[in-house]
Amino acid sequence: MDLISLADIRAAADRVRGHVVRTPLLSCPWSETPLWLKPENLQPVGAFKIRGVVNALAHLDAAAREAGVVTHSSGNHGQALAYAARARGLHCVVVVPEGASRVKVAAMRRFGAEIVTVPPAERQATTRKLLEERGLTLVPPFDAPEIIAGQGTVGEEICQDLAEPGTVLVPVGGGGLASGVATAVRQLSPGTRVLGVEPELAGDAAESLRVGQLVTWSPEWTRRTIADGTRVGLSELTFAHLRARLDGIVTVTENEIRSAMGTIARESRIVAEPSGAVALAAVMAGRVPAKGPTVAVVSGGNVEPSLLSEVVASERRG
Amino acid sequence: MDLISLADIRAAADRVRGHVVRTPLLSCPWSETPLWLKPENLQPVGAFKIRGVVNALAHLDAAAREAGVVTHSSGNHGQALAYAARARGLHCVVVVPEGASRVKVAAMRRFGAEIVTVPPAERQATTRKLLEERGLTLVPPFDAPEIIAGQGTVGEEICQDLAEPGTVLVPVGGGGLASGVATAVRQLSPGTRVLGVEPELAGDAAESLRVGQLVTWSPEWTRRTIADGTRVGLSELTFAHLRARLDGIVTVTENEIRSAMGTIARESRIVAEPSGAVALAAVMAGRVPAKGPTVAVVSGGNVEPSLLSEVVASERRG
């Protein structure tokens, strides 16, 4: 299987410049060990997803641009696609299951997306039908080289801002972000260890790496974690990237995730969603043996206000 | 009275580079009008204060560096000075009143500051004594040209990132930030309107501009606002800058401040302290007639967890 290269990521960096926030690295003077956060929650839709989407849209030819794009993710990817499509003047259709979060659907509508609501079991079929009948282009959340290359710009920026970090920690859901970041960092800073992080309760990627083949956990099983962005499984493409380029995956507990969310808000003054807090959770819980300055990617910040309020108010450190 | 110039701010920008976070402008797709936030809460001590302090320390001669620095602010300025002094290897003394926030004192200690605790009435006298006996240099929170020039780098960066904003809104406490930002923006983008914002309950700067002379409100009076960073009054130096270079000051209510804090956390995924939210509060409350793209400076994010938790949980917009 063909893996993406650093050149793909550099080309993506040229395409996303000016369309995404060039996020700074934030030092953490409150941490006892040298620690930096890469705050992708600062992107306009609150997640790194915008990077891959902008890169993917830049690849469309004139006919595809004319017809528009479609996805069936109603989470951060759907919002990112709706936002980026509007910025380029493209029509965007999002197929959402009945019962999807009204807040998220409202956000996609605000970005001008056409919402097609269907019973959950019909999402794939409806999407396929839209592709055929209306000539729309499918923009998947992670299973495409252009998406992975776009997410990899996060890794390139980390290496621009911090010479030779000891460890870079990246949340793993579908694996697009981790695949891209590992590709960039391994090339640009060969001495740096790149680790994925996921919740124990959605530890399918860790198990896949351990057994050496793609393992899928059922949605009923991964639904147990509050880190909704990590519930999805890898694809063959992202698994191939992670197996070749990641130094390992560590897992964290639900309490560790909540605690990290609170610390990020109180001490670093940014809002992380549960999936966005897993990398810091791994550092705080001591699940990563120290090795030089550490960078934890905060992948997103789209969290229910009630959960945010709860984690902020619970125990404070120091 | 001599006012600072754009050249002073540009020189400060060279000195602070690499020592402060180059904060991006964050677009607000959730806003109905074009709106950007300048998130100074992302600085390592959670506030813009680090800019002025780093610039001031760069001006010290060898003898002054040897002796060290002192201040009697136990708020964001004290933390910023302790942090910046440690980074330069300078000794830092902070004179704090008995009963000061233990969290803030602990943070200053963590940055290596020597804490001298005195009865509130003795702060000035003790500071003076330290200046004389130990040859320390006083680094004030706002009443010095180097401090104002450092804070002005916020304004220069805004103009680098956004061509000709219609309006720039800046919180006003002691007036150092507003003085610096107004100086930079007025020169770099003459068509832009620069407005200060303060709470109604600490509206001393607005009254000073209105009556044309420096008006001081008693601490008992300004203590009524939750926006603790705006309780302090202007100095003659900052008043002179604001009178010459600001287009006006608007005031906001306590409820408007709380509401803006909640919106910033939920919709822009960053944490603002009450003083840091006043500029956005002015926009959201419709206190600023629309005039092109608007930039609201979020000056800091050091907020009590209980208050943050409360504003996040209350009513959400949209």
Spatial distance between the Cα atoms of A126 and A132, rounded to a whole number of angstroms: 10
Question: Residue A194 CB: number of other CB atoms within 10 A?
Answer: 25
User: Residues B27, B82: one domain?
Assistant: no
What number is the average pLDDT over the span A169-193? 98
Q: Which residue of A has its CA nearest to B276?
A: A269
Are both A116 and A194 inside the same structural domain? no
Tell me whether residues A308 and B266 touch, CB distance under 8 A.
Answer: yes
Q: Check: CB of residue B116 under 8 Å from CB of residue B126.
A: yes
Closest residue in B to A316 (Cα–Cα):
B305
* CB–CB contact A44 B26 (8 Å): yes
Q: Where does the pLDDT of residue B74 fall: very low under 50, low under 70, confident under 90, or very high at 90 and above?
A: confident
Tell me: pLDDT of B283 over 60. Answer: yes
CB B274 within 8 A of CB B226: yes
* Interchain CB contact of A106 with B (< 8 Å): yes
- Facing A269 at nearest CB: one of B271, B312, B316: B271
Write down the pLDDT at residue A318: 39
Looking up residue A114, the CATH number of its domain turns out to be 3.40.50.1100
Q: What is the tens place of the pLDDT at every residue in B94-145?
A: 999 888 878 788 889 999 999 999 998 898 899 999 999 999 999 999 999 9
Residue of B nearest to A84 (CA): B29
**Sign, Cα dihedral of A158, A164, A170, A175:** positive
CB contact (8 A) between residue B24 and residue A27? no
**Pair B271, A309: CB distance under 8 Å:** no
Contacting residues of A for B270, CB less than 8 Å apart:
42, 269-271
- Is A272 a domain residue? yes
Domain range spanning residue A109? 51-138
pLDDT band (50, 70, 90) for residue A151: very high
Same domain, A226 and A125: no
Number of domains in chain A: 2
Same structural domain for residues A252 and A302? yes
Q: Could you say which of B113, B138, B163 is where a domain stops?
A: B138
Cα–Cα distance for residue pair B202/B224, rounded to 1 Å: 8
Mean model confidence pLDDT for chain B: 95
- Which chain A residues touch B85 with a CB distance below 8 Å? none
3-state helix, strand, coil in chain A (%, to 5): 50, 15, 35
Q: Which of B26, B45, B106 has its CB closest to that of A42?
A: B26
The predicted model gives A1-22 an average pLDDT of 97
Assign A139 a pLDDT band (cuts: 50, 70, 90).
Answer: very high
Please indicate, yes or no, whether residues B89 and B221 belong to a single structural domain of this protein.
no
Given B87, B121, B138, which residue is the final one in a domain? B138
Specify the pLDDT at position B98. Answer: 87
The reply to whether B1 falls in a domain is: no
Q: Which residues 278-307 of A have a C-beta within 8 angstroms of B?
A: 301-302, 305-306
- pLDDT tens digits, one per residue of B201-211: 999 999 999 99
In-domain check, residue A120 = yes
Percent of all residues in chain B with a pLDDT value above 90, rounded to a whole number: 90
Give domain status of residue A318, yes or no: no
pTM score: 0.96
B318 has pLDDT over 70:
no
pLDDT band at A60 (very low <50, low <70, confident <90, very high): very high
Least confident segment among A66-75, A298-307, B265-274: A66-75
Residues B133 and B234 in one domain: no
Look at residue A200 and tell me whether its pLDDT is greater than 80.
Answer: yes
Q: Nearest C-alpha of chain A: how many angstroms from B113?
A: 14
**Average pLDDT for residues A61-90, to the nearest whole number?**
94
- Same domain (yes/no): B273, B155: yes
A1 occurs within a structural domain = no
Q: Where are the alpha helices (DSSP H) in chain A?
A: 6-16, 49-58, 62-67, 76-88, 102-110, 123-134, 145-161, 176-188, 204-211, 219-222, 236-245, 254-267, 274-284, 305-313
- Residues B88, B63, single domain; the answer is yes
For the record, the structure tokens of A160 come out as 């621009």
CB contact under 8 A, A41 and B111: no
Helix B305-313, helix B254-267: angle, nearest 10:
80
At residue A222, does pLDDT exceed 60? yes
Lowest-pLDDT range, A36-45, A245-254, B14-23, B66-75? B66-75
Looking at the fold, whether B155 and B247 belong to one and the same domain comes out as yes
Tell which B residues from 5 to 34 touch A, by Cβ distance under 8 Å: 21-24, 26-27, 29-30
B 243-262 residues with CB below 8 A of A? 262
Tell me the average pLDDT across A133-159.
97
Task: Give percent of chain A above pLDDT 90.
Answer: 90
Looking at the structure, tell me whether residues A154 and A273 fall in a common domain.
yes
pLDDT-derived band of residue A315, with 50, 70 and 90 as boundaries? low
Choosing from A91, A110, A138, the residue where a domain stops is: A138
In this prediction, residue A232 has a pLDDT band, given cuts at 50, 70 and 90, of: very high
**One domain for residues A231 and A104:** no
- Is pLDDT above 60 for B246? yes
Best mutation target, A312, A314, A315, A317, to test chain B (most B CBs within 10 A):
A312
A156 and A184 together in one domain: yes
A91 belongs to a structural domain: yes
Contacts of A269 in chain B (CB under 8 A): 41-42, 46, 270-271, 301-302
Q: Do B266 and A310 touch (CB under 8 A)?
A: no
Tokens 């933390």 — which residue? B79
Give me the residue from B23, B269, B306 closest to A41, CB to CB: B269
Q: Is residue A211 part of a domain?
A: yes
